[in-house]
Structure formats: structure tokens, C-alpha cells
Amino acid sequence: MVKEEKVTVETQKISDIVPPIPCSKLEEEGHALLIVDLLRLTRTFSYRRYRLDVIGFLLAWLWVVLLLALGWWITKIGA
Amino acid sequence: MTGLSKLDLAVIVAYLVGITAFGLYVSRRVKDTEGFFMGNRRFGKSLMVAQALTTGTRADYAIGVAGASYEIGMAGIWYQWMYIFSTPFFWLLSPIFRRTRYTTTADFFEERFSRSLGVGYSFFALYLFMLWQGTIIKGAALTVAGITGLSETWIIWGVTALFVLFGVAGGLVATVNTDFIQGIFVIILSFLLIPFGLNAVGGFAGLHAKLDPQMFSLLAEKELSLFPVTMLVVSGLVGIVAQPHHMAVAGSGKTEMSCRVGWCYGNFIKRLCTIGWAVTGLIAAVMFVGVYDHSKRELVFGAMIKQLLPSGLVGLMIAAIIGTVIASCAAFMVSGSALFTRNLYKKFLKPSSDDAHYLLVGRVVSAALTVGSLLFALYMPSVVKATVHFVTIVAFVGIPMWVGIVWPRANAKGAWASIVGSSAMFFTAQRIGWGQGGQLLSALLVGFALAIIVSLLTQPEAADRLQKFFALLHTPVGEEENLERAGLKVTGD
């Protein structure tokens, strides 16, 4: 006898006007997106959930600072 | 006859033959529209970095920044550096593009809001692509003509023939694969003149001795000051999402990480190159005192190549300039072709044909789009002026994209009101004589306010449309089975 397997999808609610959408394991493990969740970050934010966004964003700002410093430093060479 | 030595000509010919042969060689991998338009989303980090760098870096940017720095000093850097504060946001935005699994930005408007917005955006984006291609070709032709003495019109047609051959044959696969080589040429273009120039003017000490100290300020009173620059930064960030080629630049990577690294760090390399362009302009300010007025300042880049570089390196610089044109225009051709084929032709003219037919249409449209861009190229008044102009227009189209991503309640009526209202506000402010900063600020405020108010006063989008869109955004690449199990389609077809 073949047992019929019922497929169930775990869901999450993101807004009152959006029907439930599938849950993501990867999002729970650091792949959630800050911009997509911007208006509900007060409820959803944790470093673990947004790890990739947070680390990469901060690192990118470090590059901005370094580039600005480089630009400023170049104007001072030979002054 | 051309003002070029045999060695220069040999370098140029070797580059053109080599890059075209390589492009044609890799184009045999293109079997379908997904390969032609999005490279089957198989690009790794290094190719994504190269794509972002070369698609976003054009000879006319270097020419414009060097020309501006020649006249107003280091502050001329902001004509391109205004996006430096937007760049970290590319890290956050690129996985959004990748997760939508869309091929064009018009797909975004259609799937999130309405078909009419998708169609409206398609026409706008096609216009932008023609404008951009025209700007790029014009800028490159102006410089190459200044160096070689060839006719500007002939150069425009010659360069166009090259990237048409490239783009039509290989689509995004050929474009991105050759971008790796083009990236090296972008770096050559940005820094090659500096050692020769510094040697000619007595080094950095010579620059300081001969130029007004104000020329070394990153904030100049003339042309660019803090408020307009700040508003250009903000509008740049708002508008960056709506630039039509960014769906491919940010979303064609194999993984979300390759998209993040590619878009973000490809642009950081570009910001580094921008420093080179500004320093080149400063050197020109010493070498060509009073030679070029405001309307001719963009000629200094070509004049420096001609005066400073030895035989062989002149050819290398010309090859680099042509390379930026090929890389950018081929990418724009492919994205423009995707927009027309998918969002107009397939939707309205021939909805149920096979993929081979759409691939053929995509290739034909690629070439046709370029003819339109040539009309722009031949009648564009000033490269830098055109750059600033289209940046402001794109910003208003970016408003509903941001609102649509972060706020489920946003709807198509709000999106239309936002685009029309902000554009009307911008042109009204321009007509009554407000400064550039005031024009942008007022238009952005009106745009965001209208998107919110009109959405709240009208019905939200259909629940299934919202569910599909936000399910995509909450499903990282690699978890597509979640969508399939929930009965949601993966692509925007």
C-alpha cells in the first residue's frame, strides 16, 4: 500500500494585506534583507537574521571612508 | 593622415580583432533568450565585478571629470563621485534584484504594480538606453577625433559597427566575458596619463606651486557646492534602482553573494578610477592654462594623450576608450533588447511564439536600438550636461520602486502619481528658477508624498499579486522549492 504524502509549507505573515508566504531557512540564518523588511525591523531585527547585510554594509562604508581619505590625501601630496 | 604611428595602429587593430574574436567565440554558448539576455545567471564574483565596473564606467565619464577638474579643480570629481555614498547600498540592493528572478526592470513594475507601468517604463528605458549610448559614443568620438584627426562622424559609425557586431552575436554572455579584459583597459584609461603628466609639470609639488589652492578643494564654490551635491547623492541613490541595465548588472550572478560582491566592489574600483580622472584634470590645468574655455574643456583629455604619451601608448589609450564604449553599449543593447522583446513584443505583438523566434527578435532589435542612439550621438550638446540631466529623470522613476519594495500597501495609482507628480514638480521648479538642489529636493518630496497618499486613498493591489512578489523577495536563491511547493511561479513570464 502506498502512503500518500501530504506536502505542507510553513508560512510567515509579513503584512495584513499580503497572504502568508513561505518561510525561509536561509533568511533565519543570516540571509534576510534589511531593505525588504525596513518597515518591520523593530519586530524582526536580529544580528543573526541580517548577518550578511549588516557585515557587508558596514564593510562597504569602511571602503567609502578609505576612498574619501585617499582622495583628500592626494590633494595634500606636495603641498 | 591619421596622426597615429604604425605602432599605435597595430595596438588598436590587435585589440579590436582580439576582443571581437573572443566575443564571437564565447557567443556560441548563447542558445536561448535567457542566455542572451541574462547569461543564464551563471556569472561568478570576478565576472560580476568586471561587469559592474565596465558597464558603469565610460570614457565620457573620465573625459567629463577630467574636463571639469581642469576648470574647477578636484571638486570636478563629484560629477561621478556623487554615487560614492550610494555604493554601500548596492550590497543591500543586489540580492533584491537577484531574488525577483526578473529579466528586466519593466518586469518589476509589471509584477509589483500593473502592466501599464511596465509598458510605460519600457518606453522610458528604451529612450534612456538610446540617450546613454549616444552620450557614450559622442564622448569617445570627440576624444578619438581630437587625437587622430579623423572625422567624428566616421568614428561614431565605426565604433557603433563594432559593438553592434559584439552585442548582436553574443548578448550578455559575450559582453560579460569580455568585460574582464575591458576592465583592465578601464584601469589603464584612468591612470596611464598621470605618471607622464606629473613628470611634465614637476610632480605634485609642481601642481601646488602653479595652481590656486582652491583647485585642491573637494568643495568648490563654482559649479558644485554642498547642497546641490548632497541632493545629487540622494537622488542618485533613489534613482539607481530604476536604471534599466541594473537588473542584469545586479541580478545575473550565480549566487546572491556574487551579485553583492560584483555590483558593490565593481563600483568601488570605479570610484578609485575616478580619483585618477580628477588628478588628470588637475595636471591639465597646469599644462593648458587658458587654452580651453568652459564649452571646450572636455577636449583636455584627448589633448593630454596626444601631448604626453609615446608611440604605442597612444594606441593603447584609444583602444581603452573604444573598449569602454563597446562594453557599455553592448550591455545597454542587450538590456534594451530584452525590454522590447519581453515587455512589448511578447506581450502585445506575438505572445505565443517559440524561444528561437524571440531570440531572433532580440538580436534584430539590438541593432535597431543602436540606430536610434546614433541620432542622439550626432545631436548631443555636451557630455557632462547630458549626464546630469538623465540622472535627475531616473530618480523619479526610482521612487515607486523603493516604496513598492518596502511597503506592501503601495499600489499602481500611487506609483503613477509619484512619477508624474515628481517630474512635474521638477520641471516647474526648474522653470521658476530654483537651484538644482531645490529642484531635486522638492521633486523627491512630492514624489514620495504622492506615492504614499494616493496609495492610501485607493485600493491596495490584488492579494495574489502581492503574495507572489513578496514571496520572491523572501525566498533566497537556492530555496526555489519553497516557492514551487507553495504553488508560486519562479519567473516573471
Mind listing the pLDDT tens digit for each residue in B84-109?
998 999 999 999 999 999 999 999 99
pLDDT at position B324 over 90: no
pTM (2 d.p.): 0.90
Mutate to test the interface with A, among B91, B99, B481 (most CBs of A within 10 A): B91
User: Mind giving me the DSSP string for B177-199?
Assistant: HHHHHHHHHHHHHHHTHHHHHHH
Q: Tell me the pLDDT tens digit for each residue of B35-69.
A: 888 888 889 999 999 999 998 888 878 988 999 99
Give chain B positions within 8 Å (CB) of A57.
Answer: 88-89, 91-92
pLDDT at position B157 over 60: yes
Tell me the C-alpha distance between B166 and B155, whole Å: 17
Q: Do A72 and B470 touch (CB under 8 A)?
A: no
Give the phi and the psi of residue B31 in degrees, each rounded to 5.
Answer: -115, -20
Residue B314 — very low, low, confident or very high, per pLDDT cuts 50/70/90? very high
User: Helix axis angle, B313-338 relative to B59-72, nearest 10°?
Assistant: 120
Name the minimum distance, in Å, from the CA of B7 to any CA of chain A: 34
Q: Do A60 and B467 touch (CB under 8 A)?
A: no
Q: Do B218 and A79 touch (CB under 8 A)?
A: no
Residue B442 lies in a domain: no
Give chain A positions within 8 Å (CB) of B88.
Answer: 57, 60-61, 63-64
pLDDT at position B492, please? 47
Q: Tell me the pLDDT tens digit for each residue of B118-128.
A: 999 998 888 88
Residue B375 — very low, low, confident or very high, per pLDDT cuts 50/70/90? confident
Name the minimum distance, in Å, from the CA of A2 to any CA of chain B: 21
Give chain B positions within 8 Å (CB) of A45.
Answer: none
Residue B351 has a CB neighbour count (10 Å cut-off) of: 8
Task: Provide the domain limits for residue B339.
Answer: 6-382
Q: Do B479 and A25 touch (CB under 8 A)?
A: yes
Residue B406 lies in a domain: no
Give chain A positions within 8 Å (CB) of B268.
Answer: 60, 63, 67
Tell me the C-alpha distance between A20 and B417, whole Å: 29
The average confidence (pLDDT) of chain B is: 88
> B478, A26 in Cβ contact below 8 A?
yes
Tell me the C-alpha distance between B188 and B415, whole Å: 43
Residue B389 lies in a domain: no
* Contact residues, B window 416-455, toward A, CB-based 8 Å cutoff: none
Q: Is B489 in the A-facing interface, judged by CB distances under 8 Å?
A: no
* Range of lowest pLDDT (B195-209, B290-304, B381-395): B381-395
> B297, B67 in Cβ contact below 8 A?
yes
Q: Tell me the pLDDT tens digit for each residue of A13-44.
A: 888 889 888 889 999 999 999 999 999 999 99
pLDDT at position B164, please? 83
CATH of the domain at B205: 1.20.1730.10
Q: Is B405 in the A-facing interface, judged by CB distances under 8 Å?
A: yes
Using a 10 angstrom Cβ sphere, with 0-12 exposed, 13-18 middle and 19 or more buried, the burial of residue B217 is: middle
Half-sphere CA count of B461, side-chain side, radius 13 A: 27
Residue of B nearest to A30 (CA): B476
Q: Is B92 in the A-facing interface, judged by CB distances under 8 Å?
A: yes
Q: Do A18 and B96 touch (CB under 8 A)?
A: no
Number of A:B CB contacts under 8 A?
A: 134
Q: Is B311 in the A-facing interface, judged by CB distances under 8 Å?
A: no
Number of domains in chain B: 1
Residue B115 lies in a domain: yes
Tell me the C-alpha distance between B321 and B148, whole Å: 13
Residue B139's nearest CA partner among B270, B345, B321, B350 is B321
* Most confident by average pLDDT, B154-158, B255-259, B358-362, B483-487: B255-259
Q: Tell me the pLDDT tens digit for each residue of B325-352.
A: 888 888 888 999 999 999 999 989 988 8
Q: Do A64 and B85 touch (CB under 8 A)?
A: yes
Name the minimum distance, in Å, from the CA of A65 to any CA of chain B: 10
pLDDT at position B141, please? 82
Tell me the C-alpha distance between B408 and A16, whole Å: 9
pLDDT at position B89, please? 96
Residue B384 — very low, low, confident or very high, per pLDDT cuts 50/70/90? very low
Least CB-CB distance to A35: which of B271, B275, B406? B406
Angle at B247 between CA B31 and CA B396, to 5 degrees: 145
pLDDT at position B258 over 90: yes
Mutate to test the interface with B, among A10, A12, A17, A21 (most CBs of B within 10 A): A21
pLDDT at position B19, please? 85
pLDDT at position B1 over 80: no
Give chain A positions within 8 Å (CB) of B279.
Answer: 74
Residue B185 lies in a domain: yes
Domain boundaries, chain A: 11-76
Give chain A positions within 8 Å (CB) of B483.
Answer: 22
Higher pLDDT, B491 or B244: B244
Residue B151 lies in a domain: yes
Q: Is B408 in the A-facing interface, judged by CB distances under 8 Å?
A: yes
Q: Tell me the pLDDT tens digit for each residue of A36-79.
A: 999 999 999 999 999 999 999 999 999 999 999 999 999 999 87
* Contact residues, B window 457-476, toward A, CB-based 8 Å cutoff: 460, 463-464, 466-467, 470-471, 473-476
> B158, B145 in Cβ contact below 8 A?
no
Tell me the C-alpha distance between B408 and B394, whole Å: 22
> B71, B289 in Cβ contact below 8 A?
no
pLDDT at position B147, please? 79
Q: Tell me the pLDDT tens digit for each residue of B396-444.
A: 999 999 999 999 999 999 999 999 999 999 989 988 999 888 999 999 9
Q: Tell me the pLDDT tens digit for each residue of B216-231.
A: 988 766 666 778 878 8
Mutate to test the interface with A, among B45, B69, B92 (most CBs of A within 10 A): B92
Higher pLDDT, B305 or B139: B305
Q: Is B81 in the A-facing interface, judged by CB distances under 8 Å?
A: yes
Q: How far is CA B80 from CA B56, B139, B416, B440, in A?
A: 10, 15, 29, 17
pLDDT at position A3 over 60: no
